[in-house]
Chain A
Amino acid sequence: MEPFNLEKAIENWAKELWKQQGLEPGFIEEIKSNLYDRIDDYLSEGYSEERAFLLATEKLMISPEDVADEYFIARTEGTKTAPWKSKSIFSLLPTNIKIGWRNLTKRKVPVVINISGLAISMAVSFLLWLYVSDQLSYDLHLDDAHRVYRVNYDLNLDGQQSVYSNVAQPVGPTLKEEYPEIEEVVRFYGKGPNHSASFQVGDKQIQSTKVFYAEEAFFKVFKIELIAGSADQALREPNSVVISQALAEKLFSGTDVIGKTIQMGQDASRTLKVTAIIKNSFRTHLPVEALISANIPTRTDKHRWLGGHVYTYLLLNELNDIAGLQEKIPAFCEKYISDYFEEKGGSADLLLQPLTSIYLDEEHIWELYPHGNRTNVLIMAVMMLFLLVIAGINYVNLATARSAERAREVGIRKALGSPRRLLIGQFMTESVLLVLFSGVIAIFLCIALLPVFNDLSGLHLSIGTMMTPVNVISILLLSLVIGLLSGCYPAFYLISFVPVNVLKGRFVKGKRADRFRTLLVISQYSLSSILVIGMLFVGEQTRFIMNKELGYNKTNVVSLKVPNDPATSDKLDVFINEVGTKSSVLGVTSSYNSLSVDANANDPIFETPDGNTVYTSMNRIDVGFDFIRTIKGKLITGRDFERTRGESERHSILINEAAVKQYGWENMATNLKLRSKEPDEHGDYYYQQVIGVVSDFSIGPSYQQVAPLMINLNEWGINHVYVRLNGQETFDGIAQIEASWNELFPNYAFDFTFLDQELNNIYAREAKFLSLLRSVSALIIFITSLGIIGLISFTIETRQKEIAIRKINGASIQAILVLLSRKFGWLIIIANCIAAPIAFYFTRQWLFSYEQRIDLSLWPLIWSIVICLTFTCLALIYHSLQAAKTNPVKSLRYE
């Protein structure tokens, strides 16, 4: 048996005191000193060392824990319970925050990397969330919006399926009569964004394209907020007009204008009385500036179910049983509509579209305004999540990578008896502290990025509307949640260390942790790769659509909008003829339709040479002479409109190749006749002869295939003049045109655009989305690279000794670079192998929504690998050079 060693016994006894929280080293020294004094006394009384020790310790204290508690109470004056005994983690929060702050400021570089990544991610995620929630909020502000549905017409005529956003006039009233669950119906029509109405008050004249003619029940269905006037009576009387706040300000410089009059029309021939003012409409698929009361008749003639369409909206009752109503629609169609369409060899169905989803649903024929894009909103939502996930992965990776630094601290604390929950609390506090700090920086970043974001997204947010108290609290709450989630794994990982191994310096980098970290890195690379590949495809498709062959030459063509004034129409012929004589002008023509907007949809009836009647559905444009020549379209067969044939040319029309293919008219195109729908009073039909077939050309956005088209000669209904200039004499040409314009139309400013610019503007939405996508993708790559840089930095640190030994043995910088990059190279390849099929699958789904689309190729995948390799290699080169500069002796001596 080992002889009793007094000093050793005292040290072992003192260790019990060291384990107690609340005893500072000075106290323990003092208690030890007291023990020595007691032992000396017992020794002087003749007791053995062992006995003296036992007696002294018995006298001194019964329980080290009680001593510690007493000391704590004495020190803190009034605190009844030591906080480490408290069940609540909040009691230790101040201490944890202090220690957390100390740890965070110790290693600034990895902390800065983490904070940067988190702050940028949260800021951009928040901005994307604003964009997504803005897009999803259209029409939600209206009371009872969820009970309102638009009635669409799903028509099948001669094998052509088309969905129209408006329906025949009798549909709405008949539905209401038939189904009591329909509380209200409203019908209205408008001329669309290509047609402006003129409003005049005194000297002020304002043009507006957001003008509608609506029935009295409009405000019963659309519960738009009124600033003045009564919703029930606003559209009751004829010649009443409800105007928006903005229009009231422009016309009257105020909104106290109920009862005042406005003159409408270019000749101010119609007088309207203002009966109500509505709040300016934003976030609606139907922005309105003026609503004019209209008594829309309900046709009763045979053809009442087709033609003369109006926009029709229903308000269902409180039960809102849309599914039940939709089930009844086939019976309704069978009862009222089907016979008419069957006669024509077609069919019709009614589709009830929820008001709140119209904006993001695909556009149907005759939609009044461009819609948003649900897929784009989904993409942004996914990118928002990607950003947060990647930032979280970064944090987890960097925190666990630095675990060796914290291992000793954890070992010592566990050896001293610190309970697990306190350690977890400590690390979670550090995690939350770091992420909360990032959240605060994110708020400031949002403010700084606001102008750029507004430009990219098309939103018009101010700091006040963006940083509402709810939004600020949401960002901070999100930070808290991210901090708690991201901090979980590192916290549990760190407290899993066995103290005895750590304190003996036998801490080995956990294989399991290393595997988990590798998995996280692969996830990061994969997410970035999916985005890069997707972004490249979206970019390519957008460029393809924007640069697609239109079937005509859009360059050097000046587009002029003709004044909507009967007084000018007489002079248009003169203008066109005069411009045609100018030296810089290669061609001039007129058109009812704009080439940058869709053509009018029509349902003409043709007769074949053998007398068959063909009911068709095709687009129609009305143009002047020289249209095909001026736009440089191609005549495939037959002839163009000719002035020399005089009045008889009015009976001529052209059709396009798509119409010929669609209806199988290859051998008979120029023998076809267009027939009027109804005979005249003598029972005779009016016919027009197809004189030629032109090559397909696009009108408006070229997302879809070119549809069948008929071209009608109409020199009188002119809205646009197109002038093709000699490309070398553009400026001279414009000057010449302007001179003629000013001479003939002195009251109207000469305002022109170039046709190619007009066409590019219609893709402005796509171009903006592409810019937003590129910016967010670049950001995600940047954040991923931040994480990778941090990891590379850590990898090199842990392999310092190995690098030092290799350098001593003559390894070059390149060799060290290859050594370090091997692992990351494999990770990039694995990640891209995972990312590629996912990216290709979703891209394919997106591309298939376009009739006109690019082919999938491997180039985006190759570029993705190149981008990942590039930023990884740059980081590796930088860190390798740093490692190479370090004196290997220092690394080895430190070890």
Chain B
Amino acid sequence: MAYKTLVAASTKPLVLSILSHGKSYGYQIIRNIEQLSNGELEWTDAMLYPVLHRMENEGLIESEWIVLENGRKRKYYSLTPLGKKERETVRSQWMNVNIALNRLWRSDLKLDLG
């Protein structure tokens, strides 16, 4: 089970990245996360929706209500241009972390510890 702080920190880049593939809605985002993490990341609505609304306040994503064929309404989210930029920023930040961690975890690494 992934640690809480890591899960919290990763929420924003995950949402931005999922939405970069196209508009989606809350439950679908949760399901995508579950599938992508092989069930390791199980988000609740209490986790996701506040983040979505915060990101919407920050102007990174925008929302719209769409009426479905069965008459129910569903709220879809999509990236704004600012969100796209932010996605690139967080992507490069996480890549840097990923590169550093991958190098550390290589068995043949010799580290200068001073």
- Which residues A487-540 have CB closer than 8 A to chain B? none
A30 interface residue (CB < 8 Å to B): yes
Q: CB-CB < 8 A to B28: which residues of A?
A: 37
**Which of B27, B44, B50, B53 is close to A37, meaning CB atoms less than 8 Å apart?**
B27
**Given A36-B72, A61-B45, A61-B46, A74 and B26 contact (CB-CB distance below 8 Å):** no
Overall SS of chain B's interface: helix
Q: CB-CB < 8 A to B49: which residues of A?
A: 27, 30-31, 34, 70-71, 74
B85 interface residue (CB < 8 Å to A): no
A375 interface residue (CB < 8 Å to B): no
A753 interface residue (CB < 8 Å to B): no
Q: How far is the CB of B75 from chain A (nearest CB, A)?
A: 5
B73 interface residue (CB < 8 Å to A): yes
Q: CB-CB < 8 A to B53: which residues of A?
A: 27, 71, 74-75
A60 interface residue (CB < 8 Å to B): yes
Docked pose: A37 CA to B50 CA in angstroms: 18
- Which residues A176-191 have CB closer than 8 A to chain B? none
Contact status A34-B45, CB under 8 Å: yes
Q: How far is the CB of B33 from chain A (nearest CB, A)?
A: 13
B74 interface residue (CB < 8 Å to A): yes
Contact status A33-B75, CB under 8 Å: yes
Q: Please give me the residue from chain B that is nearest to A71 by CB atom.
A: B50
Q: CB-CB < 8 A to B103: which residues of A?
A: none
B57 interface residue (CB < 8 Å to A): yes
Q: CB-CB < 8 A to B18: which residues of A?
A: none
A66 interface residue (CB < 8 Å to B): yes
Contact status B46-A66, CB under 8 Å: yes
A175 interface residue (CB < 8 Å to B): no
**Given A37-B27, A75-B53, A77-B57, A61 and B44 contact (CB-CB distance below 8 Å):** yes
Q: CB-CB < 8 A to A59: which residues of B?
A: 44
Q: Please give me the residue from chain B that is nearest to A37 by CB atom.
A: B27
Docked pose: A70 CA to B27 CA in angstroms: 18
Contact status A30-B57, CB under 8 Å: no
**Given A29-B73, A34-B27, A38-B27, A60 and B45 contact (CB-CB distance below 8 Å):** yes
B41 interface residue (CB < 8 Å to A): no
Is the interface on chain B under 10, 10 to 19, 20 to 34, or 35 or more residues?
10 to 19
Q: CB-CB < 8 A to B45: which residues of A?
A: 31, 34, 60-61, 67
Q: CB-CB < 8 A to A61: which residues of B?
A: 44-46
Docked pose: A60 CA to B47 CA in angstroms: 10
Q: How far is the CB of A79 from chain B (nearest CB, A)?
A: 13
Docked pose: A629 CA to B50 CA in angstroms: 106
- Which residues B36-95 have CB closer than 8 A to chain A? 44-47, 49-51, 53-54, 57, 72-75
Q: CB-CB < 8 A to A33: which residues of B?
A: 25-27, 72-75
Q: CB-CB < 8 A to A77: which residues of B?
A: 54, 57
Is the interface on chain A under 10, 10 to 19, 20 to 34, or 35 or more residues?
20 to 34
Docked pose: A27 CA to B44 CA in angstroms: 15
Docked pose: A136 CA to B53 CA in angstroms: 66
Docked pose: A70 CA to B51 CA in angstroms: 9
A772 interface residue (CB < 8 Å to B): no
Docked pose: A77 CA to B54 CA in angstroms: 8
- Which residues A111-157 have CB closer than 8 A to chain B? none
Q: CB-CB < 8 A to B57: which residues of A?
A: 75, 77
Overall SS of chain A's interface: helix
Q: How far is the CB of A68 from chain B (nearest CB, A)?
A: 9
Q: How far is the CB of B53 from chain A (nearest CB, A)?
A: 5
- Which residues A1-48 have CB closer than 8 A to chain B? 27, 29-31, 33-34, 36-38
Docked pose: A356 CA to B89 CA in angstroms: 82
Contact status A70-B46, CB under 8 Å: yes
Docked pose: A29 CA to B53 CA in angstroms: 14
Contact status A74-B50, CB under 8 Å: yes
Q: CB-CB < 8 A to A381: which residues of B?
A: none
Docked pose: A36 CA to B50 CA in angstroms: 19
- Which residues A42-70 have CB closer than 8 A to chain B? 59-62, 66-67, 70
Contact status A74-B51, CB under 8 Å: yes
Q: How far is the CB of A763 from chain B (nearest CB, A)?
A: 76
Contact status A60-B44, CB under 8 Å: yes
Proximity bits, A81-103, B CB within 8 Å = 1, else 0: 00000000000000000000000
Q: CB-CB < 8 A to B47: which residues of A?
A: 70
Docked pose: A88 CA to B28 CA in angstroms: 41
A445 interface residue (CB < 8 Å to B): no
Docked pose: A71 CA to B49 CA in angstroms: 8
**Which of A27, A29, A37, A74 is close to B54, meaning CB atoms less than 8 Å apart?**
A74
**Given A34-B27, A75-B57, A77-B57, A67 and B75 contact (CB-CB distance below 8 Å):** no
Q: How far is the CB of B4 from chain A (nearest CB, A)?
A: 14
Contact status B27-A67, CB under 8 Å: no
Docked pose: A70 CA to B72 CA in angstroms: 25
Q: CB-CB < 8 A to B51: which residues of A?
A: 74
Contact status B46-A73, CB under 8 Å: no
Q: How far is the CB of A853 from chain B (nearest CB, A)?
A: 80
Docked pose: A34 CA to B25 CA in angstroms: 9
Q: How far is the CB of A149 from chain B (nearest CB, A)?
A: 77
Q: Please give me the residue from chain B that is nearest to A70 by CB atom.
A: B50
Q: How far is the CB of A24 from chain B (nearest CB, A)?
A: 10
Q: CB-CB < 8 A to A71: which residues of B?
A: 49-50, 53
Docked pose: A66 CA to B49 CA in angstroms: 13
Q: How far is the CB of B73 from chain A (nearest CB, A)?
A: 6
Contact status A30-B75, CB under 8 Å: yes
Docked pose: A510 CA to B91 CA in angstroms: 67
Q: CB-CB < 8 A to B50: which residues of A?
A: 70-71, 73-75
Q: CB-CB < 8 A to B74: which residues of A?
A: 33, 37
Q: CB-CB < 8 A to A74: which residues of B?
A: 49-51, 53-54
Docked pose: A620 CA to B44 CA in angstroms: 107
Q: How far is the CB of B70 from chain A (nearest CB, A)?
A: 9
Q: CB-CB < 8 A to B46: which residues of A?
A: 61-62, 66-67, 70
Q: Please give me the residue from chain A that is nearest to B58 by CB atom.
A: A77
Proximity bits, B17-39, A CB within 8 Å = 1, else 0: 00000000111100000000000
Q: CB-CB < 8 A to A29: which residues of B?
A: 73, 75
Q: Please give me the residue from chain B that is nearest to A30 by CB atom.
A: B75
Q: B25, B46, B47, B74: which has the most chain A beta carbons within 10 Å?
A: B46
Q: CB-CB < 8 A to A34: which residues of B?
A: 26-27, 45, 49
Q: How far is the CB of B98 from chain A (nearest CB, A)?
A: 27
Q: How far is the CB of A453 from chain B (nearest CB, A)?
A: 56
Docked pose: A75 CA to B50 CA in angstroms: 7
Q: CB-CB < 8 A to B44: which residues of A?
A: 59-62
Q: Please give me the residue from chain B that is nearest to A68 by CB atom.
A: B46
Q: Please give me the residue from chain B that is nearest to A66 by CB atom.
A: B46
Docked pose: A38 CA to B45 CA in angstroms: 11
Q: How far is the CB of A78 from chain B (nearest CB, A)?
A: 11
Docked pose: A36 CA to B74 CA in angstroms: 10
Q: How far is the CB of A489 from chain B (nearest CB, A)?
A: 42
Q: A29, A37, A62: which has the most chain B beta carbons within 10 Å?
A: A37
Docked pose: A74 CA to B56 CA in angstroms: 10
Q: How far is the CB of B30 from chain A (nearest CB, A)?
A: 8
Q: How far is the CB of B45 from chain A (nearest CB, A)?
A: 5
Q: How far is the CB of B28 from chain A (nearest CB, A)?
A: 8
Q: A30, A67, A77: which has the most chain B beta carbons within 10 Å?
A: A30
Docked pose: A77 CA to B49 CA in angstroms: 14
Docked pose: A73 CA to B57 CA in angstroms: 12
Q: How far is the CB of A64 from chain B (nearest CB, A)?
A: 10
Q: How far is the CB of A353 from chain B (nearest CB, A)?
A: 77
Q: Please give me the residue from chain B that is nearest to A29 by CB atom.
A: B73
Known: A37-B26, A67-B45. 10 other contacts (CB 8 A): A27-B53, A30-B26, A30-B75, A34-B27, A37-B25, A59-B44, A60-B44, A62-B46, A70-B49, A73-B50
Q: Nearest 5 pairs between A and B by C-beta?
A: A74-B50, A37-B27, A70-B50, A74-B54, A67-B46
A and B contact pairs by CB, cutoff 8 A, 28 listed: A27-B53, A30-B26, A33-B25, A33-B26, A33-B27, A33-B72, A33-B73, A33-B74, A33-B75, A34-B26, A34-B45, A37-B26, A37-B28, A37-B74, A59-B44, A60-B44, A61-B44, A61-B45, A67-B45, A67-B46, A70-B47, A70-B49, A71-B53, A74-B51, A74-B53, A75-B50, A75-B54, A77-B54
